[in-house]
Amino acid sequence: MKVCLVSCMLLLLCACSGGESESEGHVWKEQTDMIDKAHGVEDLLGEANTQQRQRIEEQTQ
């Protein structure tokens, strides 16, 4: 009886654990995509800041 119960639980554990790796891969992909997007926004803000400083510099001269 115990052997059957342990076997069934082991089978269920193995059957359920396969989907987690796919969802983890998806979560990591989503996070890395968001990081890449944040780097793009950072670059855009840096360029805007540089242009604004140049305009201010030109106006003060």
Instruction: Say how far apart CA 34 and CA 42 lie, in whole Å.
Output: 12
pLDDT tens digit sequence for 10-54: 777 776 655 555 555 677 888 899 999 999 999 999 999 999 999
pLDDT at 18: 55
Q: What residue segments make up the domains of the chain, in order of their start?
A: 37-61
Cα–Cα distance measured from residue 31 to residue 33, given in angstroms and rounded to the nearest whole number:
5
pTM: 0.50
